[in-house]
Structure 1
Amino acid sequence: MENRYAIILAAGKGSRMKSSLYKVLHPVAGKPMVEHVFDQIDHLNVDEVVTVVGFGAEKVKEQLGERSNYALQTEQLGTGHAVLATSEVLGDKVGTTLVICGDTPLLTQETLEELVKHHEKTEAKATILSAVASDPTGYGRIIRDQNDHVEKIVEQKDATPEELLVTEFNTGTYCFDNALLFEALNKVGNDNAQGEYYLPDVISILRDQGEIVTAYTMDSEEESMGVNDRVALAKATQYMSARINEELMRNGVTFVDPSNTYIEKDVIIGADTVIEPGVMLRGKTVIGENCIIGANSDITDSTIGDHVVITSSNIKQSTILDYSDIGPYAHIRPNTILKEHVHVGNFVEIKNATVDKGTKVGHLTYVGDATLGQDINVGCGTVFANYDGKRKHHVTIEDHAFIGSGSILVAPLTIGKNSMTAAGSTITQDVFEDDLGIARSKQTNLVGYAKKLPYNE
């Protein structure tokens, strides 16, 4: 197999996005557009990737890091000018070069592989990735000759009535013989209304030289979508979400309403898990098998074990192990680990805490900066008072303890094994093994006082 190279065009500012964020960094299904493009190229076994950057260059370099080389397009003078900017890196190479835009996140590995295979099999010097649309208005039409080779690309404004009837259009993705690409780029002029150097002009130059130019027609028009504004960004996200959800369903995941569920690209979900409407799974989240992720749950960068039930809850950067159940309306914040068979009830917030097997945190409770052992019962309305105004402090509760409802546990604090706190207590000192901690004032009943109150008169 001959050498392969790839050029990602990512220098455009994207003014139609009306955003301070560089266009190719806008996310689709949780990943910047340029990352989707790079991921698909990565499967092609290319020898070198060069990303053309301009506006926001440092941000793109920060995103892709050392996985790519970079070429700077200091002035935005067209796609041909952008590709020419890579000449210092690729100009003397021999092989096949893929040119792809960084704002085409829907292109798949399979399509790009077929494009490159077609290019190499036909021994073409240039191959255009084309698609067929019922309404190709605005696109450059692919005009083929009697040998089914590409004769020319005709822009909408220049097309004859007969050419406007052609439904095959140019997607803006190409394969080239690398040496001929750079030779032709040096012949491209800018005698046009915009004064720019257009990459499609290379096609005409190669054709005039008698070289073979072909087109490979992709199966799906939607894959070709370039994202230039927020409307297209939303459509691309919808297409990507549908693709992600379909793949998950074919791998054994049940969606009650896939059109009302948002799963990002890198999320992994095990077989026989049920995803209810309104669920959002983001980042590097991993969901195990036989789970139920209840309606309107939002989970980010977390690992969920098998047989876990999550009901309408928010979980971020945490780990929940097998057979646990969460919610409704629980908030599991970063650095929380819930081990097997843990129960977290409604309106519970937990952060930076480890909760061991079989422990129950029923409802209306805050647990922060804590280590809880096994088989503990934390009563309703318990508060871990972990912050003194300057520093966070830790609470440790050992196995089989019972925390009475309405307890306030003032850190730093240790509650010993098999010990208890009485309901309504404010615990400021350690409670030792098998002891009962009680800290509340003695009740006093004022005889007949209630009758003197205004609402009883």
Structure 2
Amino acid sequence: MTGNNLAIIILAAGQGTRMKSRLPKVLHPIGGRPLVGHVLTTAARLGADHVEVVVRHERDRVVAALAEDYPDAVFVDQDEVPGTGRAVQVAVDALPADFDGDVLVLSGDCPLADAETLAAFLDEHRAAGAPATLMTAVVDDPNGYGRVIRDGDGGVDRIVEQKDATDDEKAVREINAGMYVFRSETLRRYLPEIGVDNAQGEMYLTDVPGLLRRDGDRVAASVVSDVTVTFGVNDRAQLAEVGRLLNQRIVRRWQLEGVTIIDPSTTWIDDDATLAPDVTILPHTQILRATTIAAGATIGPDTTLVDCEVGEDATVRRTDATLAVIGAQATVGPFSFLRPGTVLGAKGKIGAYVETKNAEIGEGSKVPHLSYVGDATIGRGVNLGASTITANYDDVNKHRTVVEDEVHTGSHTTLVAPVRLGAGAKTGAGAVVRKDVPAGALAMSVAPQRNIEGWVEKNRAGTGAADAAARERSAE
């Protein structure tokens, strides 16, 4: 998007103590990715020559969580010297010695800075021709942010951190957004001059603009119009707010692409999900991770899909599904539980209170209600009666059930795997099928029914049932 001659440094070394979490702050997820994952995704969209992530706190855990999904990122270790200035210094030192371009510095806990905003920021920097440009924002409550102090001509004079600011400086409402562009030679020249003579005892990257001004150089500023792109995460309340704002963006994007979302406030869609035009999303629905939904499908209400694939004109309601494939014009729900490996064919049905796992269910086949189908291959045109289950586990190993085309089972059938039902076979109600059933055969579990007269009156004397039985026997 921005062309070459660009390096991006992402600051992700902090501990994030205010999160009060065993999980490193930058790995807390929103929108289907860790916070720093959103920043890395944006960096990739900007087309940088080099992307570096500065790590320190729980370094190995952060690297392990990101390395596979972001193979082009280079992880740089910050040493014991604290502060953003030191973080950028070690990252600049890790760049190729002959790199001569712009260095964009981003925070790993600011996931809302989108590629379009940052591309415009870079364009402003390059147009200004300044050695450094910082992104600023004007906010109603600047508490906690570094203040941007302007000179008499309206230019940037310096940045003052909250803990070092005077009362007059604290009253300034223009804040440092924590995103910068520097010429690489500027950083190489001035970072070694930064000290730790401040309230925090840290190397502040924000000292670089002051050093530039000392030497008579100009520092440019770009005031962002949408202040939300600057929002960072320091605690769980901010995590929830930033997650909500990100979701609003995602939902609106799909609405503009032709998706009907009945209640945006109760609909959550991860950034990697894909929805086609004319999809309808009903309230209280979550479309998570890499779920894809084809045109005309209706999802919800009260549905969660994780890494699922839904075909055209399918209907999925009040369902929890993970790693499942739902065919075109199929129906699922209500109150269905689709576990990984479920594949439902076109025009198939998984109905109320049905659980499936590692099951292939053929075109037009139906599992209408109160059933469990696990480790099974179900053919075309099959109808499993109410409460049919595959008994797939023998206490040691899982076994597979195969049901050929056009099989119909009676209610409360138990298929004890491994077992095969041939094409067109049927089972009687209550059948326990332990042996293969030939094509076209009827499998039944028949035992004589025994009635013990007077059992209730003898063994449950004094109960309502005993009294009712006695009255009927007397009437007879």
Corresponding residue SS for 1:169: strand
Corresponding pairs, count: 457
Q: Which residue in the other structure is 2:412 paired with?
A: 406
How far 1:159 sits from its partner (Å)? 5.2
Q: Within 2, Cα distance between the matches of 1:416 and 1:365?
A: 20
Unpaired runs of at least 5, structure 2:
468-476
Q: 1:138 and 1:334 mapped to 2: Cα distance?
A: 45
> Does 1:244 pair with 2:246?
no
- Mark the CA change 1:165 to 1:451 in structure 2 (over 3 Å): closer, same or farther: closer
**Could you tell me which of 417, 421, 424 is aligned with 1:418?**
424
More off after superposition, 148-157 vs 309-318: 148-157
Instruction: State the Cα distance separating 1:449 from its structure 2 match.
Output: 5.4
Say yes or no: does 1:26 pair with 2:53. no
Match of 2:369, SS state, is coil
Runs of 5+ unmatched residues, structure 1: none
Distance 1:157 1:392 in 2: 62
- The aligned residue for residue 137 of structure 1 is 143
Q: Which residue of 2 aligns with 1:73?
A: 78
Q: 2:93 aligns with which of 73, 88, 94?
A: 88
TM-superposed CA distance for 1:304, in Å, is 0.7
Match of 1:52? 54
TM-score normalised according to structure 1 size: 0.96
Distance in 2 between residues matched to 1:80 and 1:159, nearest whole Å: 18
Matches within 5 A, 1:3-42: 3-42=5-44
Partners of 2:111 and 2:202 in 1: CA distance:
25
Q: Deviations over 1:183-229 (max 9, x none)?
A: 10001111112221100000101121122210111121111111111
* Length-normalised TM-score, structure 2: 0.92
Find the residue that maps to 2:193 and give its secondary structure.
coil
Which amino acid in 1 is paired with 2:89?
L
Identity of aligned residues (%): 39
Residue by residue over 1:315-358, the C-alpha shift from the partner in whole angstroms, topping out at 9 and shown as x without a partner, is 00111110000111010100111010001110000100100100
**Greater Cα shift, 122-131 or 150-159:** 150-159
Task: Give yes or no for contact 1:91–1:182 (8 Å, CA) kept in 2.
Answer: no
What is the distance in 1 between the residues matched to 2:92 and 2:221?
Answer: 25
Residues 21-52 of structure 1 show CA distances to partners (whole Å, capped at 9, x for unaligned) of 11101101121011100111111111111111
Cα distance in 1 between the residues matched to 2:44 and 2:209: 26
Contact 2:4 2:48 in 1 (8 A): no
Q: CA RMSD in A?
A: 1.7
One-letter amino acid of the structure 2 residue matched with residue 218 of structure 1: V
Q: Deviations over 1:88-113 (max 9, x none)?
A: 31273211000111000111111110
Question: Superposition pairs for residues 425-444 of structure 1, below 5 Å?
Answer: 425-444=431-450
AA at the equivalent of 2:84: T
Q: Which residue of 2 aligns with 1:358?
A: 364
* Equivalent residue in structure 2 for 1:109, among 115, 140, 154: 115
**Aligned ranges 1:264-413 → 2 under 5 Å:** 264-413=270-419
Partner Cα distance (1:388, 1:260) in 2: 42
Taking a change above 3 Å as real, the CA distance of residues 164 and 58 of structure 1, as seen in their structure-2 partners, is: closer
Aligned to 2:466: 456
Structure-2 separation of matches of 1:268 and 1:375: 30
| CA distance in 2 between partners of 1:288 and 1:104 (Å) | 32
Deviations 1:262-295 (A, max 9, x none): 2111111121222122111211111111111122
Letter in 2 for 1:281: I
CA contact (8 A) 1:424 1:440 kept: no
